Amino acid sequence: MNSLADFLKFIRFSHTVFALPFALGAMFVAADGLPPLGIFLGILAAMVCARTAAMTFNRLADWEFDRRNPRTENRHRLVGRSTAVVWCLVASAGFLVAAWALNPLCFFLSPVALALVFFYSLTKRFTPLAHFFLGLALSVAPVGAWLAVRGTWDFPPLVLAAAVLFWVAGFDVIYATQDYEVDRREGLHSLVVRFGVRGAMRFAILLHVLALAGLLGFGKAAGAGGVYFVSMGIVAAALCYEHLEARRGDIDSINRAFFHANTIVGVAFVAGTLLDHLGPT
């Protein structure tokens, strides 16, 4: 029987840290500080369940590809297919329940959100723009958190969603450089396959410039104060570090660029938004 630890490793649960800060940041801004505990717990449950369902579906969709990829060939030994299917169904149901507990609009939109996060896993088969579909899937998080707090649409979370889309697409391009040869052999699509490693890395820089502009635009649209914009300096430094590390080209450097830099980006953003709204006005 597979352990919970094996399953969490199977879905790279630690990478939940990438999308969660942007949901929490949107939540803090929408609530103008800390929201009621019930809303916070509902958003947290929805985020964890949605990502668990999405990553489990991704592993199922890519099962045979992963077995033929030296980087991922051991994944299927952690969790059996039938177990993965059960986890995917349970996590999907958990997401729907969490959305229902938040408000009617969140529940109404929850199947659309699931469809988006599942669809990403299929896009590499037919378009080099798969990175943008991953960005779109993760950009749902801040919009959903805003709707959970306010129950209405607004402009600032849409700006933040665009920033998240570009940020995720940029770091996914960097991560995809590890699979350049495998993706070419398997007939899979990515910007790395389309433009080569160097061309794709230059494109990733452009995407992260757009992401930083989007984060600054979100601060402007949301009426953020100085603390938020200071935190954007940390975000900019982390993105520069990410690209400098990734240029080395070895797997260890790419993994450092991917995980360490993006963790700093998320922590700086969520800390900036929280402190900005808890500080003196």
Domain residue extents for the chain: 9-278
pLDDT tens digits, one per residue of 107-124: 999 999 999 999 999 999
CATH number for the domain running over 9-278: 1.10.357.140
Count Cβ neighbours within 10 Å for each residue of 233-267 and write b for 16 or more, e otherwise: ebbbebbebbbebbeeeeeeebebbbbebbbbbbb
pLDDT of residue 254: 81
Joined tokens for residue 76: 């299927």
Say if residues 169 and 207 touch (Cβ distance below 8 Å).
yes
Does the pTM of the predicted model rise above 0.85? yes
Work out the mean pLDDT of the chain and round it to a whole number: 92
Residues 44-62 have a mean pLDDT of 94
- Give the separation between CA 159 and CA 156, rounded to whole angstroms: 5
Count of Cβ atoms closer than 10 Å to residue 94 Cβ: 17
pLDDT of residue 145: 97
pLDDT tens digits, one per residue of 212-235: 999 999 999 999 999 999 999 999
Residues 199-208 have a mean pLDDT of 96
Q: How far is CA 82 from CA 1, 59, 75, 164, in A?
A: 12, 12, 14, 33
pLDDT of residue 221: 97
- Give the separation between CA 11 and CA 276, rounded to whole angstroms: 33
pLDDT of residue 1: 43
